[in-house]
Chain A
Amino acid sequence: MISYGYHRYPGRLFVVEGTDGSGKSTQLLLLYQWLKAEGYHVFFSEWNSSPLVKDTTKRAKKRRLFTPATFSLLHATDFADRTERDIVPPLKAGAIVLADRYIYTAFARDVARGCDRAWVREVYKFAVKPTVAFYFRAPLDIAVDRIESARPQLKYYEAGMDMEWSDDENESFKIFQGKILDEYDHMVGEFGLTQIDATQAIRTQQRQMREIVNRYLKETLKEKAVPGL
């Protein structure tokens, strides 16, 4: 089994991370449009997207069957399917893969739920190390405001209600997001995440992102140059 940091594929993997409401999905979408327009072969991979695991996750959320450990392991299962199906094959073929949330989301959430830091990192050891991992950092109050105004009703696990930190959903969500933010801050140095200030204008953030991504691109990655695709 090849483990984190030892994958050598011709493609490029760019991932976005950050708390809910940090604006990372918007930024990834803009990056996608740009890369497409430039003529690159781009694949999109989202968190929680494995067809083999989707029904199980949905049922477990609805019936509240998760413990912190099974929440962690089922998401790892989903991520493994994504890796085997959507991430490694295009990278091998020399394409660009964009991932909305990656292993750092799991590290932040699972550790916030009480899972052991070293254990969670070990579980995800099979992951491909990203070319660049962007971390969109928004202060807690801004992220919380954005989410609460966009979604009047928070979901049970999203709000961290399973942890019984508070009976109040918004209060629980704030506690949970605070813990997640602490974990992200911890990981910036550990994994060399590229921090982007998510309070800046959308266009400013996108310009910074493109500038960094551009350093890792080359002509041979463009669509017409990818053999067999």
Chain B
Amino acid sequence: MKEMKFYGRAMPGIEIEPYSGKLIVIEGTDGVGRSTHVALLRSWLEAAGHAVLDTGMTRSILAGRGIKDARAGHTLGRLTMQLYYATDFADRLQNQMLPALRAGFVVLTDRYIYSAIARAVVRGADPDWIRSIYGIALVPDSIFYLRVRSPEELAGRVLASGRGFDYWESGMDLGLGNDYYDSFIAYQKLLLREFDRMKGEYGFEVIDASRPVRRVAGELKRSVARIVENEGSAANPSPKEVVKPEARVEAKPNVMPVVKETSKSAP
């Protein structure tokens, strides 16, 4: 059990109490392989008997669809986009991640607040402003930052994946280059610089993601094993930690326990 710690103040209605789950963040720029590694970690953790919730940006019930529609239209202003993402994050934190953590799940999140901060700062937002908005975030148990050496390497991966360059991932709204490739390189370079700046501030564990997937996955597993097993839950699970693998929560967050107002939030 660990006490909940937030970067700033917790959202109203959240009871600050010890939780038995683990919040593990996989961060990194576009095309670095985050979703591949989240999927690999998930199967591996489930095979070891851990209940897993995986989540990521724009996957909230509340704002996910709205953000996708707005992105598709390419008409999203900078401030609007950042606040829309913050809304999405707040919804997932309160309705998915925190209930799962209380119930003892390992929560794997594909990006957390750091990507949102990096994107906002690269777009000219006040770094203190965006950080204080995300003061509502729970401090994770671990943050793995998948890092590649150059934006050119990311571009190669995006091409190899077959999906090609995306308008927003290429930072086309910033007008940094004449075409998607030039813009992608310039934009990702700025993001890499922001991530490097945040490394010390937030205590990222840097994983060299320029290596083959198998080796990166191996290192992640070893590190994650240290986190989830330091309480002996995998080797000798206590009864309340035995959760059936099918007890996944992301599809029906409305059935998750929602903690209601306590006296502290009454003004």
Contact = CB atoms under 8 A, between A and B. Distances in A.
B267 interface: yes
Contacts of B91: 65, 67, 70
A116 B11 CA distance: 8
Interface in B104-161: 124-126, 129, 132-133, 135-136
B8 interface: yes
A1 B78 CA distance: 10
B86 A73 contact: yes
B87 to A, nearest CB: 4
A83 interface: yes
B12 A114 contact: yes
Contacts of B62: 56, 60, 65-66, 70, 74
A52 B125 contact: no
A154 interface: no
Give the interface SS of chain B, mostly helix, strand, loop or mixed.
helix
A85 interface: yes
Given A3-B126, A55-B66, A70-B94, A80 B80 contact: yes
Interface string A1-41: 10100000000000000000000000000000000000000
Give the interface SS of chain A, mostly helix, strand, loop or mixed.
helix
Contacts of B75: 52
Please classify how large the interface on chain B is, using the bins under 10, 10 to 19, 20 to 34, 35 or more: 35 or more
Contacts of A179: 267
A57 to B, nearest CB: 9
Contact of B76 (A52, A60, A73, A114): A52
B166 interface: no
A163 interface: yes
A163 B84 CA distance: 23
A77 interface: yes
A112 B267 contact: yes
B219 interface: no
Nearest to B260: A164
B13 to A, nearest CB: 6
A70 B92 CA distance: 10
A171 B265 CA distance: 19
Contact of B125 (A1, A67, A70, A77): A1
Contact of B95 (A67, A73, A81): A67
Interface of A: 1, 3, 50, 52-53, 55-56, 60, 65-70, 73-74, 76-77, 80-81, 83-85, 111-116, 119, 122-123, 125-126, 163-164, 179
Interface of B: 8-9, 11-13, 61-63, 65-66, 69-70, 73, 75-80, 82-84, 86-87, 90-91, 94-95, 124-126, 129, 132-133, 135-136, 260-261, 265-267
18 contacts: A3-B126, A52-B75, A53-B84, A55-B69, A65-B61, A66-B62, A68-B13, A69-B11, A69-B13, A73-B86, A73-B90, A77-B86, A77-B87, A85-B77, A112-B267, A114-B265, A115-B12, A122-B132
